[in-house]
Amino acid sequence: MADASNMIMAEGDAPATPSASTLVVYAKTDNIIYRKTSAGTETALLMTSSALGTPASGDLQNCTGYSASAQYIDLTAWTSDDTLSATEMAGNVVATNTGAGGAVNLTLQAGTTGYAVRVIVTVAQYLRITADGTDKFRYGTTEGAAGGYIRSNVIGTSFLLVWTGSNWNIMDLVGTLNYDE
The mean pLDDT of the chain is 78
pTM of structure: 0.62
Residue with the bigger pLDDT between 158 and 31: it is 158
Look up residue 178 and give its amino acid. N
* Residue pair 14/28 in contact by the 8 Å Cβ criterion: yes
| Average pLDDT for 64-80 | 60
- Which residues contact residue 47 at a Cβ distance below 8 angstroms, ignoring those fewer than 6 apart? 33, 70, 71, 72
Residue 158 pLDDT: 92
Residue 69 pLDDT: 36
pLDDT (tens digit, 9 = 90+) per residue, 127-169? 999 999 999 999 999 999 999 999 999 999 999 999 999 999 9
Find, among 116, 42, 58, the residue nearest to 86 by Cα: 116
* Residue pair 151/128 in contact by the 8 Å Cβ criterion: yes
